[in-house]
């Protein structure tokens, strides 16, 4: 039995990925502005502030972690938008590649939050879940378009 999706289902999944990417962009912008302005983040726990103030929340000591999310979500959203008019396979592969990087990155950062910083940012956790959902949707699409089980 082949694992396939109708063109309508693929379009709908692409829209979901686009929408989730836009949500990711908004979350990343909100958290990034607090990093840049060095202001508090509205959060369910005190973990957001603990994480924001940690030097480990900056790649290479100067690049805020939320900027990585902003770049990743923007690339996925852009490719999802382009896929509305084209079915070139490189677009799906690019989205899946970025989502794979995103899942690996948020997994690494969640480990840093839990075991090094010892605090969990609610926004980071939501972003990790969001990226995980995007990744799973794209895996499903990729498998269906390549007729793999």
Indicate which CATH number applies to the domain containing 49: 1.20.1440.130
Q: Is residue 1 part of a domain?
A: no
Query: 34 phi and psi, to 5 degrees?
Result: -70, -30
Q: Which is nearest to 29 in space by CA: 74, 61, 63, 60?
A: 74
Q: Is the pLDDT of residue 127 over 50?
A: yes
The number of domains in the chain is 1
Q: What letter would DSSP give residue 134?
A: H
Task: Take residue 109 and report the two structure tokens written for it.
Answer: 């950062």
Whether residue 38 lies inside any domain: the answer is: yes
pLDDT digits (tens, 9 = 90+) for 15-61: 999 999 999 999 999 999 999 999 999 999 889 999 999 999 999 99
User: Whole-prediction pTM value?
Assistant: 0.93
Residues 125-136, mean pLDDT to the nearest whole number: 98
Q: What is the structure's pLDDT at 147? A: 66
Which segments of 38-115 does DSSP mark as H helices, in order? 47-53, 65-82, 89-112
């Amino acid at each position: 039995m082949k694992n396939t999706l109708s063109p309508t289902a693929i379009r709908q999944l692409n829209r979901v990925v686009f929408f989730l990417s836009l949500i990711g962009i908004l979350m990343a912008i909100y958290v990034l502005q607090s990093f840049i302005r060095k202001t508090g983040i509205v959060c369910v726990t005190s973990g957001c502030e603990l994480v924001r103030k940690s030097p480990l929340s900056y790649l290479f000591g100067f690049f805020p972690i939320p900027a990585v999310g902003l770049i990743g979500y923007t690339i996925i959203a852009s490719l999802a938008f382009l896929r509305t008019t084209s079915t070139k396979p490189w677009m799906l592969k690019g989205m899946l590649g970025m989502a794979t990087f995103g899942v690996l990155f948020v997994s690494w950062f969640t480990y840093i939050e839990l075991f090094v910083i010892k605090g969990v940012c609610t926004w980071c956790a939501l972003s990790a879940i969001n990226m995980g959902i995007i990744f799973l949707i794209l895996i499903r699409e990729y498998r269906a378009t390549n007729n793999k089980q």
